[in-house]
Amino acid sequence: MAKRTIMAAGNWKMNKTPTEAVEFINGLKDIVTGCNSEVVTAVPFVCIPGAVEAAKGSNIKIAAQNVHWEASGAYTGEVSCEMLKDLGVDYVIIGHSERREYFGETNEMINKKARAILDAGMIPIICCGETLTQREQGVTAEHVRYQIKVALLGLSAQEVSELVIAYEPIWAIGTGKTATDEQAEEVCAIIRQLIAELYDNDVAEKTRILYGGSVNAGNAKALFSMPNIDGGLVGGASLKIDAFEKIVKHDQ
C-alpha cells in the first residue's frame, strides 16, 4: 500500500488582505520548494485570485474555506463551486466548527457541499470534532462518527479515497491546548475505522485524515508521525511564514 502524503494545510480564517496574501505566498513558495509535504493554504474568498496567481509554478495549492452547494441562483452573499474551480482552487474546507457554530451549518448541508465540490472537480476537506462537554461526557467517538457518516452519504469509494478529513476537537482550536498525540491518534483511527466499515480497508487506507487544533512548529512532528494522522489543518501558526515553514518541513 502506497504511503499517504502528509498534508500541511493552513486555514487563514478571516485574516490577511489580498495584498498580504500575495506577499505571503510569494515569501513561502521558494522556501517550500521540494518539501515532502503537500502544502495548502486556505485563504479568504477575496484573496483567491491573487493567491492562485502567486502560487503558479510552485507546489502550494490554494483552498477556499467554504462554498455553497447550489450551482447558481438567488443566494445573496454566497459563492458556487464553479466560481472557485474557475479561479483555480483545488481544495475546499467544509464543516469547520466555526461555520457550524456561528453560521448554523448542519451535517446535511456539509454532505451537499461535499457532493457539489466533487462534481466540480475539486477536493473537500471535511472537518469534524467534539466540544469539551462531549469529550467529558464520553461521546466523542459517537459524535464524530455521526458527523462523518452523514457528510459522506452518497459518495463513492473512489471519491472518499481522494478526499481529506480534518479532526479538529473544538476545545483545542485557538486555545493553545493541543490534543495529546494519543488523543488525536485515537479519534483519527476511529474515523479510519468508520471508513473501512462504510467502504472497505483499501479506501480507508487511502483517505487522508488530518489533525487540527493548536498545531504549531513544536508539536507538528510528533502529531504527524502518528500512524493515522496524515498532517494538519493549522490556524494561527499558518499566518506566519516561519512557523508554517517549520510545520511543512516537520520531517527535515
Q: Interface residues with ligand 13P (CB under 6 A)?
A: 11, 96, 168, 173-174, 212-215, 233-237
Which of 199, 224 has the CB closer to ligand 13P? 224
Per annotation, catalytic residue among 38, 96, 159, 250: 96
To ligand 13P, the closest distance from the beta carbon of 202 in angstroms equals 28
What is the smallest separation between the CB atom of 158 and ligand 13P, expressed in angstroms? Answer: 26
What distances in angstroms separate CA 114 from CA 78, 127, 154, 171, 247, one per listed residue? 16, 11, 10, 25, 27
Least distance between ligand 13P and beta carbon 99 (Å): 10
Nearer of residues 127 and 194 to ligand 13P, judged by Cβ: 127
* CB-nearest residue to ligand 13P: 235
b/e per residue, 131-170, with b = 16+ CB within 10 A? beebbeeeebbebbbebbebbbeebeeebbbbbbbbbbbb
Helix (H, G, I), strand (E, B) or coil at 173: coil
Nearer to ligand 13P, 94 or 215 (CB): 215
The yes-or-no answer on residue 38 being catalytic is no
Asked if 241 and 27 count as a contact pair (C-beta separation under 8 A), the reply is yes
61 backbone dihedrals φ, ψ, rounded to 5°: -105, 150
Q: Which helix (H) or strand (E) holds 79?
A: none
Q: How far is the CB of 63 from ligand 13P (least distance, A)?
A: 11
127, three cell numbers: 472537518
Identified catalytic residue from 38, 98, 159, 168:
168
Our CB check for ligand 13P shows the closer of 190 and 234 to be 234
Q: What three-state secondary structure class fits 3?
A: coil
CB of 28 to ligand 13P, least distance (A): 17
168 is catalytic: yes
| Number of Cβ within a 10 Å radius of residue 37 | 23
Q: Are 54 and 26 in contact (CB under 8 A)?
A: yes
Q: Which is nearer to ligand 13P, 140 or 203 (CB)?
A: 140
Amino acid identity of residue 170, one-letter, is I
Integer Cα distance of 117 and 95 in angstroms: 13
Catalytic residues: 96, 168
